[in-house]
Amino acid sequence: MNRTSNFLGGVFAMGCTLVFLSGAALAHGDVVPQAVDTEGLKSLPEGEWLDENPYRGNKQAIEIGSSAYGQNCARCHGLEAVSGGIAPDLRELGPEYDDYFIGKVRGGVQRNGMTYMPAFEGTLSQDAMWAIRAYIDKRHYEYNDKDLAKLYEQAEDGS
């Protein structure tokens, strides 16, 4: 599942925008990642990485993830995960992309000495990352007109 290369075509097509964007990012310095309060969610072990979302369908996780997404991801991936074209549209990532998702969020994306996306490992907890994933699951359902009740049914604790 190589989504990166598909996306790259778009990036090259918009080369000018991207160069402008990275200049702007440098000018503003590093953006400090925002702490995420995940209290109330089942806490996950740090350092032992899961490859599947343990919070899928959990409404509280979706709410926490929505705010964490807004603070940490929206500036590149767009408000409510609707891409403005500078970074991939995350609503396309169905549940089969959990492992891919967590890998990207942990490590970010660097190429040729450029940081396209910052690494979040060490600044966001595993709990926070999966809460964001839970929110993106919801946006994926909405984007594809899938029945949200079916998503909420998957919550482990039925919440």
Residues that bind ligand HEC (CB under 6 A): 3-4, 7-8, 11, 72-73, 75-77, 87-88, 90, 101, 104-105, 109, 116-118, 120, 132
Q: Which is nearer to ligand HEC, 46 or 153 (CB)?
A: 46
Nearest to 150 by CA among 54, 56, 51: 56
Spatial distance between the Cα atoms of 42 and 48, rounded to a whole number of angstroms: 15
Q: How far is the CB of 135 from ligand HEC (least distance, A)?
A: 9
Spatial distance between the Cα atoms of 100 and 146, rounded to a whole number of angstroms: 22
Spatial distance between the Cα atoms of 30 and 65, rounded to a whole number of angstroms: 22
The half-sphere exposure of 28 on its side-chain side, counting CA atoms within 13 A, is 8
Q: How far is the CB of 42 from ligand HEC (least distance, A)?
A: 20
Q: How far is the CB of 102 from ligand HEC (least distance, A)?
A: 8
Spatial distance between the Cα atoms of 20 and 26, rounded to a whole number of angstroms: 10
Residue 106 CB coordination number (10 Å): 15
Q: Which is nearer to ligand HEC, 1 or 149 (CB)?
A: 1
Q: How far is the CB of 144 from ligand HEC (least distance, A)?
A: 15
Q: Which is nearer to ligand HEC, 8 or 153 (CB)?
A: 8
Q: Which is nearer to ligand HEC, 56 or 104 (CB)?
A: 104
